């Protein structure tokens, strides 16, 4: 995962992960760390996708189930399940994903604007689609998913 | 509008103008008729007023406004610049300085400007000034004389012998006369820098005034030090002058006439050194009548409260990890590890206590300013009041201390204004004409109790009811149903004030509900007891700290929740049969009291609830003010000290949860907010 990747302005570094059979990516600049699955304390009166809170070295961190958030079919957690901790608009959140695959660099030229039929995920959550050899990586718009401009508290 | 970007500019300019004010007022004092100086003072005050009003610092703006009124009268010649008026204006400048410093430090404003504003108003009306109680500045060293290049101190015999001895060793004694710049803000700090600089270069024999007074800023702008040194006078002067805000430094060699063996190489230490003599006016007037406000014991360091919070978090982490190690040791039966961890346990417990203590501040820090305030208020209201303060040493968390000042000011003002009667009225009632107000702090379990008591006329529940009805706060029917205790608590409702006349002191009808809100926001409670003609007693109950609380851990299904112990009355066991239904609400009967019950599992939508109902139920009886409720939980785990953590932005404002905490096993448990649970 930590293999050396040459970085230049023309490229975007991504943390790529799996949700079901599709591959997704978020900018590495938004990722704080990646954690194994841990005990999550349920918080009542919150939306379903908000699984609860965890103890991250003494501070309390909310965790969302990314698949539930994106309305993807649920799947039991496995050994590969990871929590990616991201920071968006000063909000730190853990996102549960099925597996983290790698850190990759994608040339901006290879990122296409999202098309409505690319994925089951609502178009406003997607910022683009990256093409890498024969793989497709769906780039997520975290600002829309967890940032200030979403209604996270609606139940 | 975001004014933060102008903050730096505001602070800088304000400080400049305050310095100018200090300088000009000194000038005015020496030459009361000087109109151009008055104009300059007026301009500076006006600028400060304008700037602070724009920035929204009303306390500063209000004070400068009142100050301006006085200055205007001086300018018109209606008032003469008497020493009293000058004193008051100085006091204003000092207070403004404090206000602006607290703004600069981004602190809650703890300076009370009201008494000063009232004083200014009184002066403006041309009233004979209430002779202000003098602070200790009169005690500043009497030995100080006009600066000259002569030595000014007389030496004691032992000092003479020390100096002679030093001469034998080739050292020279100097009398160093140091003058601070007018308007210097940190006099004690500058003095300290001078002393430590001198200390490096030689041996300090004496300072006038003594070091203690220098530290307490019990001096004006000059002080004198006798030093024995191998350095030359010029070097001393140059070193001292390099310290900022030092206006002058003059090292005068002390000649001892009967020195037996003279001729050390260093005697040519230039007695003719000329330094710019400090302007005379500095000696004439007290630059800072601030006196003894900075009493310090021992050395201290100012630390950002955030850093302490971080420290506390880290200690909490350590404790959690220790608990984990403990469990590993126990499961694998590693005796050595268990023993070591026991040692570690002691250390971490001590560490936790120390960190907690670091955040604790004696409540006296807030209480200190009240005697003066009560005295000023009682004079203004023509009452005679004796304020008794007890338990100043009681310690509270820093965050609580910072917030508790305003509510106490409100309560004390109320006692002085509404509670205590005029002396003749008291005499007619057969009471001591001197009223008594008590301010008492003490520990009570995990709380600190602060009492504000007076032996005044008390609160008449009937008057309160009438007033509340006429103001539309309650209906007549509600009023009729209320007993005396409930009626008295109406004073805490928003928009209620009983004062017949709205005075400056209190009675604007914003006081008591603000007090209540503030104290509740601190996790405390306020209550009142009163007897007509015997007095009232306001009781504030505050948690020791906001960061760590005692809580009861309870289990609901597989989930663990913490209930703050402060809200818990008791825990009881009941059976299903004990639950009765009244108007479709489940209640239990406890010592003759009907208590509604709440199933925690239902409120929190706990999944996987046990299909069968337990026969024996655990009920936690909680209270919110006068209301009680029983919370049904599956199991009680035990009492524990917990560190409150915020749930973060994303979860801010969710119902029923007051925060979270981390348990010994590293799991997160949520803290129940009793207030919202019971609504």
Phi-psi region of B583 (alpha: psi -120 to 50; beta: other; left: phi over 0): left
CB proximity list for B342: less than 8 A, separation 6 or greater: none
Residues forming CATH 1.10.287 domain(s) in chain B: 306-359
> Which of A39, A42, A93 minimises the CB distance to B650?
A93
Contact A45 B662 (CB under 8 A): no
Q: How far is A85 from chain B (nearest CA, A)?
A: 14
Query: pLDDT per residue over B610-656, tens digit each?
Result: 656 677 889 999 987 678 899 999 999 988 778 788 787 788 777 78
User: What is chain B's alpha carbon radius of gyration, rounded to the nearest angstrom?
Assistant: 32
pLDDT at A42: 92
Query: How far B581 CA sits from the closest chain A CA (Å)?
Result: 27
b/e burial code for range B406-415 (CB count within 10 A of at least 16 → b): bbbbbbbbbb
Higher pLDDT, A99 or B3: A99
Question: For B647, which residue in chain A has the nearest alpha carbon?
Answer: A60
B653 contacts on A by Cβ (under 8 Å): 153
N-term to C-term CA, chain B:
37
Whether the Cβ atoms of residue B575 and residue B674 lie closer than 8 Å to each other: no
In chain B, residues under CATH classification 3.30.70.1110 are 143-278
Among B255, B201, B249, B210, CA closest to B228: B201
Q: Which residue of B has its CA nearest to A38?
A: B667
Do the Cβ atoms of B656 and A43 come within 8 Å? no
Q: Domain A11-145: what homologous superfamily?
A: CheA-289, Domain 4 (2.40.50.180)
φ and ψ at residue B92, rounded to 5 degrees: -60, -45
Query: Which of A41, A44, A153 minimises the CB distance to B656?
Result: A44
Is A55 within 8 Å of B656 when comparing Cβ atoms?
no
Mutate which of A38, A40, A41, A63 to test chain B, going by most B C-beta atoms within 10 A? A41
Q: Which residues of B534-560 are buried (b: 16+ CB within 10 A; e: fewer)?
A: ebbbbebbbbbbbbbbbbbbbbbbebb
Give span(s): CATH 2.40.50.180, chain B: 548-677
- For chain B, which ranges sit under pLDDT 50? 1, 128-149, 258-297, 500-510
DSSP 8-class letter at A43: -
Closest partner CB to B670 (pick from A43, A58, A93): A43
B143-278 architecture in CATH? 2-Layer Sandwich (3.30)
Quick check: ipTM above 0.95? no
**Closest residue on chain A to B646 (Cα):** A60
A59/B645 touch (CB, cutoff 8 Å), yes or no: yes
Residues of B forming the active site? 46, 68, 414
Nearest to A60 among B606, B655, B668 (CB): B668
| CA distance, residue A3 to nearest chain B CA (Å) | 32
**Topology at the third CATH level for domain B362-543:** Heat Shock Protein 90 (3.30.565)
The answer to whether the beta carbons of residues A34 and A83 sit under 8 Å apart is yes
Given this model, what pLDDT does residue A28 score? 93
What is the spatial distance between Cα A42 and Cα B632, in angstroms, rounded to a whole number? 19
Q: What are phi and psi of A14, to 5 degrees?
A: -125, 150
pLDDT of residue B497: 61
A62 to B650: CB separation less than 8 angstroms, yes or no = yes
Helices B83-104/B58-76 angle, 10° precision: 160
Report d(CA B121, CA B109) in Å as an integer.
Answer: 22
> pLDDT digit string (tens) for B157-200?
777 777 777 777 777 888 888 887 776 667 777 777 788 888 77
Tell me the CATH class for B306-359: mainly alpha
- Across the interface, whether the CB atoms of A44 and B606 are under 8 A apart is answered yes
Strand order in the sheet with A82-88: A31-36, A82-88, A91-97, A59-65, A50-56
CB within 8 A of B561, min separation 6: which ones?
B553, B554, B555, B600, B604, B633, B669, B670, B671, B672
Band of residue A9 on the pLDDT scale cut at 50, 70, 90 = low
The CATH topology of domain B548-677 is OB fold (Dihydrolipoamide Acetyltransferase, E2P) (2.40.50)
Partners of residue A90 in chain B, C-beta under 8 Å: 649
Note whether B667 contacts A39, CB cutoff 8 Å: yes
DSSP code string of B430-454 = TS-SSEEEEEEEEEETTEEEEEEEE
Residue B385 forms beta bridges with which residues? B435
CATH class of B4-133: mainly alpha
Backbone angles phi, psi at B97, to 5 degrees: -55, -45
């Amino acid at each position: 995962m930590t293999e050396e990747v040459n970085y230049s302005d023309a490229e975007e570094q991504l943390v790529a992960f799996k949700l079901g059979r599709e591959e997704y990516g978020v900018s590495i600049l938004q990722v704080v760390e990646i954690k194994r699955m841990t005990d999550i304390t349920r918080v009542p009166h919150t939306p379903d996708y908000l699984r609860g809170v965890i103890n991250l070295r003494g501070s309390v961190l909310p965790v969302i189930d990314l698949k539930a958030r994106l309305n993807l079919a649920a799947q039991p957690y496995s050994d590969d399940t990871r929590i990616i901790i991201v920071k968006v608009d000063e909000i730190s959140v853990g996102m549960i994903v099925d597996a983290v695959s790698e850190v990759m660099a994608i040339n901006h030229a290879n990122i296409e604007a999202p098309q409505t039929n690319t994925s089951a995920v609502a178009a406003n959550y997607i910022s683009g689609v990256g093409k890498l050899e024969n793989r497709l990586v769906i780039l997520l718009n975290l600002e829309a998913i967890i940032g200030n401009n979403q209604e996270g508290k609606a139940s | 509008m975001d004014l933060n970007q102008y903050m730096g500019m505001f602070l800088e300019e304000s400080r400049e103008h305050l310095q100018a004010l200090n300088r000009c007022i000194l000038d005015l004092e020496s030459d009361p008729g000087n109109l151009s100086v008055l104009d300059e003072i007026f301009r500076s005050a006006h600028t400060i007023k304008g700037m602070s009003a724009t920035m929204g610092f009303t306390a500063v703006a209000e004070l400068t406004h009142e100050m301006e009124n006085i200055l205007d009268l001086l300018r018109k010649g209606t008032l003469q610049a008497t020493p009293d008026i000058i004193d008051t204006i100085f006091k204003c400048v000092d207070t403004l300085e404090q206000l602006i410093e607290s703004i600069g430090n981004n602190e809650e404003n703890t300076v009370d400007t009201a008494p000063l504003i009232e004083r200014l108003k009184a002066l403006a009306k041309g009233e004979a000034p209430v002779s202000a109680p003098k602070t200790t500045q009169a005690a500043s060293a009497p030995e100080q004389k006009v600066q000259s290049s002569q030595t000014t101190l007389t030496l004691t015999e032992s000092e003479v012998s020390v100096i002679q001895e030093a001469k034998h060793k080739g050292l020279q004694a100097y009398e160093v006369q140091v003058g601070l710049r007018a308007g210097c803000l940190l006099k004690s700090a500058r003095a300290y820098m001078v002393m430590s600089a001198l200390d490096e270069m030689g041996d300090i024999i004496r300072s006038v005034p003594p070091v203690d007074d220098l530290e307490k800023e019990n001096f004006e702008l000059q002080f004198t030090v006798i030093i024995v040194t191998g350095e030359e006078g010029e070097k001393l002067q140059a070193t001292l002058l390099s310290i900022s805000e030092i206006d002058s430094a003059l090292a005068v060699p002390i000649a001892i006439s009967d020195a037996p063996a003279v001729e050390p190489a260093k005697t040519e230490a230039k007695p003719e050194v000329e330094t710019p003599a400090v302007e005379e006016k500095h000696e004439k007037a007290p630059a800072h009548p601030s006196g003894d406000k900075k009493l310090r014991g021992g050395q201290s360091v100012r630390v950002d409260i955030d850093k302490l919070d971080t420290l506390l978090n880290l200690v909490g982490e350590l404790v959690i990890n220790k608990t984990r190690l403990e469990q590993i040791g126990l499961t694998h039966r590693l005796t050595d590890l268990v023993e070591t961890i026991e040692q570690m346990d002691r250390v971490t417990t001590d560490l936790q206590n120390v960190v907690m203590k670091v955040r604790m501040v004696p409540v006296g820090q807030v209480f200190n300013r009240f005697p003066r305030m009560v005295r000023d208020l009682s004079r203004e209201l023509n009452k005679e009041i004796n304020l008794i303060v007890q338990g100043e040493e009681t310690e509270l968390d820093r965050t609580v201390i910072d917030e508790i000042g305003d509510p106490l000011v409100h309560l004390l003002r109320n006692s002085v204004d509404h509670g205590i009667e005029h002396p003749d009225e008291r005499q007619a009632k057969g009471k001591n004409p001197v009223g008594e107000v008590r301010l008492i702090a003490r520990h009570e379990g995990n709380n600190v109790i602060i009492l504000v008591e007076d032996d005044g006329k008390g609160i008449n529940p009937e008057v309160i009811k009438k007033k509340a009805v006429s103001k539309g706060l309650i209906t007549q029917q509600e009023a009729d149903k209320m007993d005396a205790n409930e009626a008295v608590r109406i004073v805490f409702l928003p928009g209620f004030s009983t004062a017949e006349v709205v005075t400056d002191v209190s009675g604007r009808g914003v006081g008591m509900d603000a007090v209540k809100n503030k104290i509740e926001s601190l996790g405390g409670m306020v209550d009142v007891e009163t007897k007509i003609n015997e007095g009232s007693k306001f009781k504030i109950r505050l948690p020791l700290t906001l960061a760590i609380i005692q809580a009861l851990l309870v289990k609901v299904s597989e989930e663990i929740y913490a209930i703050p112990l402060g809200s818990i009355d008791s825990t009881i066991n009941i059976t299903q049969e004990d639950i009765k239904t009244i108007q479709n609400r489940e209640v239990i009967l406890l010592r003759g009291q009907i208590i509604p019950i709440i199933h925690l599992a239902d409120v929190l939508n706990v999944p996987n609830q046990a299909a069968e109902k337990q026969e024996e139920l655990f009920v936690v009886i909680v209270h919110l003010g006068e209301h009680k409720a029983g919370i049904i939980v599956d199991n009680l785990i035990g009492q524990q000290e917990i560190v409150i953590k915020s749930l973060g932005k994303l979860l801010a404002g969710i119902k029923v949860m007051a925060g979270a905490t981390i348990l010994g096993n590293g799991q997160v448990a949520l803290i129940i907010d009793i207030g919202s649970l019971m609504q």
